[in-house]
Structure 1
Amino acid sequence: MKLDRKKAVPLYIQIREIIRSQIESGERKPMEPLPPEDVLCREYNVSRITIKKALEDLKKEGYIVRIKRKGTFVNFEKPKREERGFRIGRKTIAFIVPDIEDAFISEIYKGIKDVAEENGYSVAVFSSDKNIEKEIENIELLKDSDMEGAVIFPYWGRFNALQILKLKKKRFPFVLIDRYFRDIETDTVIVDNFKGAYKATKHLIDLGHRRIAHIMGVRCTANEDRFEGYRYALSKASIHFDPSLVREIQPFEVEGSLRFEPDDIGGYREAKALLSCRKRPTAIFAGNDYIALGCYKAIKEMGLRIPDDISIVGFDDLKFSSHLEVPLTTVRQPKYEIGKRACEILIMRITQKNPPRKFKKIVLPTELIIRGSCGCKRKQVEKNLYLGGETWTK
């Protein structure tokens, strides 16, 4: 689309409308970088001031985000038509995630977005596509961005601990969700993974199982706490802990970078290994619902039946879990509430002149959702609800 220099419409408005149209049509994809300003100047044969004015309007309307020393990117979500005028003057917060298309994370995003918009903020999403190096880069760029703050969902391990410490030292407002660092005090919103895993494992024990396997997700505090909850349930029931019944999804290296296969594939592989043992488990506590999905496939391939031959419990309660051939018993996380509470804390940090010096740690409750994968009826089992809580740490 070319500029019409005979029109009375200023050139910067024409350029703004061209780029807006490209974003609206999908020609420019979410989080796709726009060409540098000097390239746009040559493309449209206009001054840098003209390009800056066009981009500034698009930023105010919520179509793009601009990051110092990184460039200009198409925003993750296009603004609604009725919101365009309202968005002008809005400030932006970042949501750093491993994979925005993950069903668990997308529900958290809804909670963040609702609270942000209620308070006059837009949300820019930065997804690392489960790439450690990209996640580190996304967190690193926050320090020099025009973002007001960030909600950060770390992927795994301690690879980004240095970047988190840098943000903290610079007093950049941020909240960690789902995963955290035991030795770095920050604002955090998590669920009680320990108790959730304990209840899930205890449910299997109450049904008479003694050889209960556990397939862990990627190494992080959430999955470590679930493992400890599993072990505690065994010890409380005087069941010997057998390390051979615990499997962990491991990273692999691709061209010098660490990668993880999807959890359902990892769950499938680890379940096949467990069920091929001479003395196989009678139940599996899967670290999340995707892992459980992989277990379902392995069990079916081996000619076994759920729950007649083996029982399964998952964690998360994703939408598909209730629609499986045998509906999955799982631990429900309050996904929307995680995002909501995290964004409320973040906005408090951004807006208050003298925010509390103590960091806030929110621990939300979970609920065991009993379906058909353990071979029991709801009335036969105690009501598995418990309270979470919130604590303050220095």
Structure 2
Amino acid sequence: MSLDRKSNTPLYLQLKNLIIEKIRNGELKPGSFMQTEDELCREYGISRYPVRQALGELVDEGYLQRTRGKGTIVNPELPTQKRETKKQVLGLVLTNLIHDFPADILSGFEKEARKRGYLTVACCSEGDPEEELRCIDMIAELEASGLVVFPCNESRISDRLDSLREKNIYLGIIDRNPGLNEVDYTGSDNIGGAYTAVRHLAMHGFYNVVFVSDMSNVSSVNERMEGYIKAVGDFGLNPLTHISINEDLTKYYHYKHRFFIEKIKDELSELKKSLPVGIFAINDGVALHCMEVLKSEGLVIGKDIGIIGFDNIPEGKNSDVQLTTVAQNGLLLGQTAADIAISKIEGKTAQVYRSIIPTQLIIRSSCGEGM
């Protein structure tokens, strides 16, 4: 038997049902050892996450038992009550799982949901508004108790508000707020993170400052701009210019930003006339490619140019000049969003939440470390 990748049923749920069927028809006998996670990954051609989720739920529901130092076995006793228990489903729609941040959100969300007795179904929109709606519809068809959405740019979540209410399905928003004030929101402190970054530039003598951003119109980008402007005013800095890339970079992964940075190469080169200059970039991908351009101009990063990004992607730490950046706590974001969702579903609270999770400045050699 194989898994159907074209089905709307998540892969982990297909695998879980397949294992249950093997137990019921006697192919997997009580007390026998299950295949390892690696063996299941190879047999069904899927990643470790859906395998781990399927096995975890089968343990929770009494089909399997984990034995310390030996492995996972089919439960010698399969209580009917446990086997037929139906857990509530909680959905999570993300834009992608390419980077650590959304993956951390998923991990924190799933951990909190499982602790509270809920199953997690995750779906990725790949930044496509139409695909985002399809993900929402798929989760709703699974009779989920609720879902939380990481909106893509140009999100059309509002198109589903009425239908979700009619089905009594909870809706929450994470990371970006598309202006749905009546919906619970969990996000990072983008304003505070940007403010702290610009203050750090000022503390290290970079009084001429530049903000490098794109043309996206999502709340997280606008909030970082707000924090930058506030810090510039509070610390009496000289904002040389706002370099704006004429493109919405939220549509692209960080490794594709290089192409768009080339379009502002001349503007970056002009900064040589005003050294030293501090740069606050909208994200790490933009910051890293700006560093490449500036180094090619013979400028010393950390001395002539101080530069700070946002997101704390692994490439920033692994760069030859390690990038100072603002880190978001994806795990806590996911846990908080799931906690709020479940509390609402179970009727423990009726208030509308706006939960802001603190960020952390990670100091490295592009500004501050070793200066």
State the TM-score, normalizing by the size of structure 1.
Answer: 0.69
> Is 2:272 aligned against 1:313?
no
> Is 2:304 aligned against 1:304?
no
Q: Is the 8 A contact 1:307 1:374 kept in 2?
A: yes
Q: Is the 8 A contact 2:247 2:260 kept in 1?
A: no
Give the alignment of 1:324-335 within 5 angstroms.
Answer: 324-335=319-330
Give the alignment of 1:23-34 within 5 angstroms.
Answer: 23=3, 32-34=5-7
| Alignment partners' CA distance in 2, 1:202 and 1:268 | 30
Task: Tell me by how many angstroms 1:171 deviates.
Answer: 4.0
SS at match of 2:50: coil
Rate the CA distance shift 1:56–1:197 in 2: closer, same or farther, 3 A.
Answer: closer
Task: Tell me by how many angstroms 1:245 deviates.
Answer: 2.2
Q: Is the 8 A contact 2:127 2:153 kept in 1?
A: no
Task: Tell me by how many angstroms 1:369 deviates.
Answer: 1.7
What code does the residue aligned with 1:34 have? S
SS at match of 2:122: strand
What code does the residue aligned with 1:177 have? I
Q: Is the 8 A contact 1:264 1:291 kept in 2?
A: no
Matched with 2:220 is 222
Matched with 2:79 is none
> Is 2:50 aligned against 1:77?
yes
What code does the residue aligned with 1:265 have? K
Matched with 2:285 is 290
What code does the residue aligned with 2:92 have? F
Task: Tell me by how many angstroms 1:348 deviates.
Answer: 1.4
Q: Is the 8 A contact 2:127 2:251 kept in 1?
A: yes
**1:274-323 C-alpha deviation (Å, 9 max, x unpaired):** 31336467222111222223223333444433123311111122334323
> Is 2:99 aligned against 1:102?
yes
Q: Is the 8 A contact 1:314 1:329 kept in 2?
A: yes
Structure with the bigger RCO (C-alpha within 8 Å, sep 6+) is 2
Q: Percent identity at matched positions?
A: 25
Matched with 2:185 is 188
Task: Tell me by how many angstroms 1:336 deviates.
Answer: 0.7
Matched with 2:202 is 205
SS at match of 2:353: strand
Instruction: Give the number of aligned pairs.
Output: 314
Matched with 2:363 is 370
| Alignment partners' CA distance in 2, 1:151 and 1:60 | 28
Rate the CA distance shift 1:260–1:226 in 2: closer, same or farther, 3 A.
Answer: same
What code does the residue aligned with 1:77 have? P
Q: Is the 8 A contact 1:212 1:245 kept in 2?
A: no
> Is 2:24 aligned against 1:58?
no
Matched with 1:361 is 354
Name the Cα RMSD after superposition.
3.3
- Comparing 339-348 with 177-186, greater Cα deviation is found at 177-186
**1:206-246 C-alpha deviation (Å, 9 max, x unpaired):** 2222332222353211110000100111112233545x423
Q: Is the 8 A contact 1:267 1:292 kept in 2?
A: no
> Is 2:247 aligned against 1:247?
no
Which one of 156, 160, 165 corresponds to residue 163 of structure 1?
160
SS at match of 1:77: helix
Rate the CA distance shift 1:286–1:164 in 2: closer, same or farther, 3 A.
Answer: farther
Rate the CA distance shift 1:288–1:57 in 2: closer, same or farther, 3 A.
Answer: closer
- Comparing 91-100 with 222-231, greater Cα deviation is found at 91-100
| Runs (5+) with no aligned partner, structure 2 | 22-45, 62-82
Matched with 2:67 is none
> Is 2:252 aligned against 1:261?
yes
SS at match of 1:223: helix
Which one of 275, 299, 304 corresponds to residue 268 of structure 2?
275
| Alignment partners' CA distance in 2, 1:356 and 1:206 | 43
What code does the residue aligned with 2:267 have? L
| Alignment partners' CA distance in 1, 2:137 and 2:8 | 22
Q: Is the 8 A contact 1:268 1:294 kept in 2?
A: no
| Alignment partners' CA distance in 2, 1:176 and 1:224 | 17
Rate the CA distance shift 1:158–1:92 in 2: closer, same or farther, 3 A.
Answer: closer
**1:180-217 C-alpha deviation (Å, 9 max, x unpaired):** 13353211111211111011011112222233222235
Rate the CA distance shift 1:199–1:221 in 2: closer, same or farther, 3 A.
Answer: same
Task: Tell me by how many angstroms 1:169 deviates.
Answer: 6.3
- Comparing 291-300 with 96-105, greater Cα deviation is found at 291-300
Q: Is the 8 A contact 1:196 1:367 kept in 2?
A: yes
State the TM-score, normalizing by the size of structure 2.
Answer: 0.73
Q: Is the 8 A contact 2:306 2:367 kept in 1?
A: yes
Q: Is the 8 A contact 2:269 2:294 kept in 1?
A: no
What code does the residue aligned with 2:232 have? L
| Alignment partners' CA distance in 1, 2:187 and 2:15 | 36
Matched with 1:13 is none
Rate the CA distance shift 1:375–1:357 in 2: closer, same or farther, 3 A.
Answer: closer
Which one of 231, 234, 245 corresponds to residue 233 of structure 1?
231
Rate the CA distance shift 1:168–1:266 in 2: closer, same or farther, 3 A.
Answer: farther
- Comparing 294-303 with 102-111, greater Cα deviation is found at 294-303
Q: Is the 8 A contact 1:104 1:316 kept in 2?
A: yes
Task: Tell me by how many angstroms 1:155 deviates.
Answer: 1.7
Give the alignment of 1:113-152 within 5 angstroms.
Answer: 113-152=110-149
Q: Is the 8 A contact 1:176 1:187 kept in 2?
A: yes
Rate the CA distance shift 1:349–1:248 in 2: closer, same or farther, 3 A.
Answer: farther
> Is 2:53 aligned against 1:90?
no
| Alignment partners' CA distance in 2, 1:170 and 1:157 | 25
Rate the CA distance shift 1:169–1:283 in 2: closer, same or farther, 3 A.
Answer: farther
